[in-house]
């Protein structure tokens, strides 16, 4: 080994020690011990005896992989893999693929490890190494959006765990993976009697939360009879074990406090009719002898005493009050200490509610932007172009993109504001620096020769495009990006780009655009289609608030489930709903793209 390389390794030890200096004071002794161990390993890696040098190089690479990946790679490069025993090969395979994983090359990890799950090489590994390899593969699948493959690997992981707590954590990871798969893709996932099939069947039951709770309890009992020995049977995930108690204690009288006149009448009617549609559908479900009373109260008046209206509903027998919607009345009720009956407000309060009986459910573009930016980041984007309309709405959405993207350490390197469809073209051209490229080509042509020809080039520091647009304007984005040499850039948008009506000829220009959407808009049922058609023809409904009304009904009986178990989810019409520690219900919208002019649901890329 050369003197320079020896100096390089000593420098790596110093860097490793310095990196440990940021740890807590109590960790100093441990850091020093590891640093001494690393220095000895690096010294042994220079031994002329391969029986000493190779294991030392491999152990040093394992320690350095996270903090000093280049040094770890250099140590691995000096090892002849062919001459390694199987246990050492498995350790080499782990650290080599951990380095690829840390670089974001999940495809390479999957290619390298997917063929090894049943190999003699993996079986020769010690339990710790085998677990780490399989977990690395499962995480790589999840980060590529292949959640079924991730769940399959984790199922094979289960038998490796001796500790019950670790086994339960792995079961939780299996559950998270399967619940990321769009509901209409689950039936085709498996049809045999394997452990995976039991997980899939349970996931399908969990994702039926928009229907009748009695029907869900019936399905769960059938699952228990079939899958009594399944790993999930003794500790049902996602709050499913609470369903029978919830069914017994669901509210028998519900009050809706909604604006039914004035400027918010459309919003109130959309919420009311979505709620009632879900309610009547539930009442017609099989074996459902439960009949709830729903009473609607108009909260339109600007000077309304919301506490008095709440008291009126409670005095009339309400066991749950849903609403109000208006921000001011939500804030007023949130300040009340006299909420003897639970409230599910349909907007978020500005301040922390006083009563623990105050719950909040709402829908906002922020939920979509959070998902869009997360998926873009996990997809590898760092620097983006943001195009948006020069309106108060467009500017507000653009500002929110900027704030959320910055919080993820992303950078908006260019913006392309537009006033109408005609102004989109010059704005995108300027933001992509096509004008500068064309000017440069003209300058070169004057200097070199009149016959000189050169294609314009776009700027190369953009990884993706964020689009704020309605469907009509959004259809121009892909053709314009292709015209300006940016057809390779991934494009992300909110649900505003989808009209909700199936129109392949018009929407073919939206192909490959990723967007967030209400799950309700991506599924097909007679009710969904009838309402979407009604809205598409100018009907007086808001698609998002109609869906929120459906989710308000689904949530009405499941508040104890969401509150009682943090892992509980409602797979609703507006998204996957969960409750935080302040009784605030947040949503994760669905993820989709356009293929052949049709909106198609996609699994999300997942954080490991």
Q: Is the pLDDT of residue 5 over 50?
A: no
| Residue whose C-alpha is closest to residue 522's, from 469, 569, 572 | 572
Q: What is the pLDDT of residue 115?
A: 82
The dihedral through the CA atoms of 262, 268, 273, 274 has a sign that is positive
Q: What is the pLDDT of residue 83?
A: 86
Q: What is the pLDDT of residue 223?
A: 94
371 is written with which tokens? 């998902």
State the SS3 of 303-348. Answer: CCCHHHHHHHHHHCCCCEEECCCCHHHHHHHHCCCCCCCCEEECCC
Helix (H, G, I), strand (E, B) or coil at 576: strand
User: How far apart are the C-alpha atoms of 491 and 515, rounded to whole Å?
Assistant: 8
Residues in the chain: 608
Q: What is the pLDDT of residue 344?
A: 98
Mean pLDDT of the chain: 86
| Residue whose C-alpha is closest to residue 386's, from 300, 490, 465, 269 | 465
Q: What is the pLDDT of residue 524?
A: 73
In this structure, of 154-168, 255-269, 276-290, 292-306, the range with the lowest mean pLDDT score is: 276-290
User: How far apart are the C-alpha atoms of 236 and 118, rounded to whole Å?
Assistant: 29
Give the rounded percent of residues in the chain with a pLDDT score beyond 70.
85
Q: What is the pLDDT of residue 77?
A: 87
Residue 602: beta bridge partners? 591
> b or e along 95-116 (b: 16 or more beta carbons within 10 Å of the residue's beta carbon)?
bbbbbbbeeeebeebbebbeeb
Q: What is the pLDDT of residues 352-369, one digit of tens each?
A: 999 999 999 999 899 999
User: How far apart are the C-alpha atoms of 104 and 377, rounded to whole Å?
Assistant: 11
Q: What is the pLDDT of residues 375-422, one digit of tens each?
A: 999 999 999 999 999 999 999 999 999 999 999 999 999 999 999 989
Model pTM score: 0.82
User: How far apart are the C-alpha atoms of 141 and 180, rounded to whole Å?
Assistant: 12
CA 486-489-493 angle, to 5 degrees, is 115
User: How far apart are the C-alpha atoms of 284 and 291, rounded to whole Å?
Assistant: 10
Contacts within 8 Å (CB) and 24+ apart, 31-35: 34/63
Q: What backbone torsions phi and psi does residue 341 show, to the nearest 5 degrees?
A: -115, 140
372 is written with which tokens? 């869009």
State the average pLDDT over residues 451-475.
85
The DSSP code for 17 is H
Q: What is the pLDDT of residue 531?
A: 73
- Residue written as token pair 């969904």: 528
555 is written with which tokens? 């949530």
Q: Is the pLDDT of residue 145 over 90?
A: no
Q: What is the pLDDT of residue 266?
A: 93
State the average pLDDT over residues 213-220.
88
552 is written with which tokens? 């308000």
Q: What is the pLDDT of residue 34?
A: 64
164 is written with which tokens? 């019950």
Burial of 459 (0-12, 13-18, 19+ CB in 10 A): middle
Helix (H, G, I), strand (E, B) or coil at 145: coil
Q: Is the pLDDT of residue 181 over 80?
A: yes
Q: What is the pLDDT of residue 392?
A: 96
User: How far apart are the C-alpha atoms of 41 and 47, rounded to whole Å?
Assistant: 10
Q: From the CB of residue 69, how many other CB atoms can be counted at a distance below 10 Å?
A: 17
DSSP per-residue string spanning 151-180: HHHHHHHHTT--SHHHHHHHHHHHHHHHTT
| Residue whose C-alpha is closest to residue 511's, from 415, 596, 413 | 596
Q: Is the pLDDT of residue 349 over 70?
A: yes
Q: What is the pLDDT of residue 537?
A: 64
Q: From the CB of residue 163, how many other CB atoms can be counted at a distance below 10 Å?
A: 8
Q: From the CB of residue 119, how many other CB atoms can be counted at a distance below 10 Å?
A: 14
Q: Is the pLDDT of residue 302 over 50?
A: yes
Tell me how far apart the terminal alpha carbons of the chain are, to the nearest angstrom: 39
């Amino acid at each position: 080994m050369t003197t320079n390389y020896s100096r390089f390794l000593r420098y790596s030890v110093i860097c490793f020690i310095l990196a440990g200096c940021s740890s807590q004071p109590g960790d100093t002794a441990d850091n020093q011990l590891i640093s001494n161990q690393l220095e000895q390993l690096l010294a042994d890696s220079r031994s002329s005896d391969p029986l000493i040098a190779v294991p030392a190089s491999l152990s040093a690479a394992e320690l350095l992989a996270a903090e000093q990946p280049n040094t770890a790679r250099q140590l691995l490069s000096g090892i002849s893999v062919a001459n390694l025993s199987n246990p050492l090969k498995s350790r080499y395979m782990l650290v080599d693929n951990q380095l690829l994983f840390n670089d974001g090359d999940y495809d390479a990890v999957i290619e390298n490890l997917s063929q090894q799950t049943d190999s003699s090489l993996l079986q020769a590994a010690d339990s710790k190494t085998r677990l780490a390899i399989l977990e690395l593969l499962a995480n790589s699948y999840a980060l590529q959006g292949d959640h079924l493959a991730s769940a399959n690997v984790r199922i094979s992981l289960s038998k490796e765990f001796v500790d019950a707590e670790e086994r339960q954590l792995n079961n939780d990871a299996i559950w998270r993976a399967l619940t990321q798969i769009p509901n209409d893709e689950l039936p085709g996932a498996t049809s045999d009697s394997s452990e995976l099939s039991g997980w899939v069947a349970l996931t399908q039951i969990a994702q039926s939360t928009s229907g009748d709770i009695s029907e869900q309890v019936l399905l769960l009992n059938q699952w228990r009879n079939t899958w009594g020995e399944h790993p999930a049977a003794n500790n049902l995930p996602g709050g499913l074990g609470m369903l029978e108690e919830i069914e017994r204690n669901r509210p028998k009288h519900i009050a809706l406090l909604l604006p039914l006149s004035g400027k918010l009448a459309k919003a109130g009617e959309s919420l009311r009719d979505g709620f009632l549609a879900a309610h009547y559908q539930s009442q017609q479900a099989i074996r459902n002898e439960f009949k709830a009373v729903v009473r609607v109260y108009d909260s339109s008046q600007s000077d309304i005493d919301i506490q008095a209206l709440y008291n009126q509903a409670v005095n009339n027998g309400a066991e749950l009050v849903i609403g109000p919607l208006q921000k001011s009345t939500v804030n007023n009720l949130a300040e009340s200490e006299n909420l003897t009956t639970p409230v599910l407000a349909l907007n978020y309060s500005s301040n922390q509610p006083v009563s623990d009986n105050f719950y909040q459910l709402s829908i906002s573009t922020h939920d979509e932007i959070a998902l869009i930016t997360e998926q873009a980041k996990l997809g590898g984007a760092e620097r983006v172009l943001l195009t948006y309309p020069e309106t108060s709405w467009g500017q507000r959405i653009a500002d929110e993109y900027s704030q959320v993207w910055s919080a993820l350490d992303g950078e908006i390197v260019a913006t392309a504001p537009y006033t109408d469809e005609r102004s989109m073209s010059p704005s995108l051209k300027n933001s992509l620096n096509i004008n500068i490229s064309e000017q440069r080509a003209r300058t070169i042509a004057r200097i070199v020769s009149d016959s000189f020809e050169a294609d314009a080039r776009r700027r190369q520091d953009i990884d993706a495009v964020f689009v704020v647009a309605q469907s009509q304007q959004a259809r121009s984005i892909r053709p314009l990006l292709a015209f300006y040499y940016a057809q390779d850039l991934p494009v992300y948008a909110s649900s505003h780009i989808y009209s909700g009506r199936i129109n392949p000829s018009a929407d073919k220009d939206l192909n490959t655009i990723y967007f967030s959407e209400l799950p309700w808009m991506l599924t097909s049922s007679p009710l969904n289609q009838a309402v979407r058609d009604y809205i598409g023809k100018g009907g007086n409904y808001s698609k998002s608030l109609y869906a929120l009304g459906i989710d308000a009904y689904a949530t009405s009986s499941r508040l104890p489930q969401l509150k009682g178990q943090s892992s509980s989810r409602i797979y609703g019409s507006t998204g996957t709903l969960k409750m935080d520690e302040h009784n605030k219900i947040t949503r994760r919208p669905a993820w989709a793209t356009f293929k052949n002019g049709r909106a198609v649901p996609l699994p999300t890329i997942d954080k490991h």
